[in-house]
Homo-oligomer: A and B are copies of this chain.
Amino acid sequence: MGGDYGPEVTIPASLDRLKNNPDLKLILVGDEAVIAQHLAQNRDEYRERLTIKHASQCVAMDESPAKALKNKKDSSMRIAINLVHDGYADACVSAGNTGALMATARFVLKMIPGIDRPAIISTLPTIYGHTHALDLGANVDCTAEHLFQFAVMGAELVKAVENIENPRVGLLNIGEEDVKGNEQVKAAAKLLENSALNYIGYVEGDSLNAGNIKVDLIVVDGFVGNVALKSIEGAAKMIGTALKDAFSKNSLTKLAGLIVYPVLKSFRKRIDPRLYNGASFLGLRGLVIKSHGGADILAFRTAVHLAEIEIKKDVIRKISEQVEKTLAMRETA
């Protein structure tokens, strides 16, 4: 029910994934009448792999997380997370209110023992392929220990999803020299240097999209990570607007735009943020994926697909085991 467009987007995207993955089973959680109406004849077609779970409430996009948690016990969000908790679902995908989703997920699913705070991880396109970054906004005022925990969890996810043995982990800083950075970053660097992780050192903001060195995972405080992510969104929006404006100036530029349409389309495809939609909450005892609220069908489809991949790769179990192993190593050290 969530996101800026609700079932208009989430249902066609779900149907598309059902069509493309014959192993996928989906439970659509929300207002049954609304869902049934959007499904129409597709309901019969996917009878065996598609169920509806009714929810009488819905968390608003601007509702406070605390209020949603307290007053919306029959919301689609809460019920979907309950399904994960109770083992009826392997993952919950939502385009709804991020804060409420995080608070509800944390309350219902609980944390992996040894992890203090959940973190948000996502994939970002780069010049040479893509990279992963966390935390993108779940936490502010992270300590060095938090950053270290994020690195352990994120590296395990990258390992599983990308089939990389030793993901290269970088720590986001304002320079690559040892003397640079704030206190948390300097202390986190020490923890990472002394860990079993493949820590490559400091990386700068441009490495999120255009780093000269290969880095598979970028670790950052949630405040800084969120600002960086939104700064990138703003830059892309400005550049996209300028490009559109240049081609819409007059009938001649419009004609030019038509001529080069296939080229612009292939350009757009390569950096299309919709193909990178979906952020996983790490640190919880269950899989929750957050789609961008403004996601369209293509973008929401990407988020559902991400859930399928992370379920198949058994990411949550692997992270839990790795965290336990890391804790045990510390105790014996």
Chain A residues within CB distance 8 Å of chain B: 64, 125-127, 137, 140-141, 172, 174, 179, 181-183, 185, 204-211, 220, 222-224, 226-239, 241-243, 245-247, 249, 253, 256-257, 259-260, 263-264, 266-267, 270-271
Contact of A237 among B172, B182, B206, B260 (CB under 8 A): B206
Copies in the complex: 2
Contact of A235 among B204, B224, B236, B246 (CB under 8 A): B236
- CB nearest to A137 among chain B residues: B174
Pairs A–B under 8 Å by Cβ, sample size 24: A141-B183, A174-B226, A174-B227, A204-B230, A205-B231, A205-B232, A205-B233, A209-B235, A209-B238, A210-B234, A210-B235, A210-B237, A228-B228, A228-B231, A235-B235, A236-B239, A239-B239, A239-B271, A245-B270, A246-B266, A253-B263, A256-B260, A256-B263, A257-B263
Given contacts A227-B228, A259-B260, contact A206 B234 (CB under 8 A): yes
A264 touches B237 (CB 8 A): no
Q: Which of A185, A260, A271 has the most CB of B within 10 A?
A: A260
A208 touches B231 (CB 8 A): yes
- CB nearest to A179 among chain B residues: B64
B residues less than 8 Å from A210 (CB atoms)? 233-235, 237-238, 241
Cα A13 to Cα B267 with chains together (Å) = 34
Contact of A271 among B140, B224, B232, B238 (CB under 8 A): B238
Q: Given A210-B235, A246-B264, A246-B266, 13 other A-B contacts at CB below 8 A?
A: A127-B242, A140-B174, A141-B183, A209-B235, A210-B238, A224-B224, A227-B227, A235-B235, A243-B267, A247-B260, A247-B267, A249-B266, A260-B260
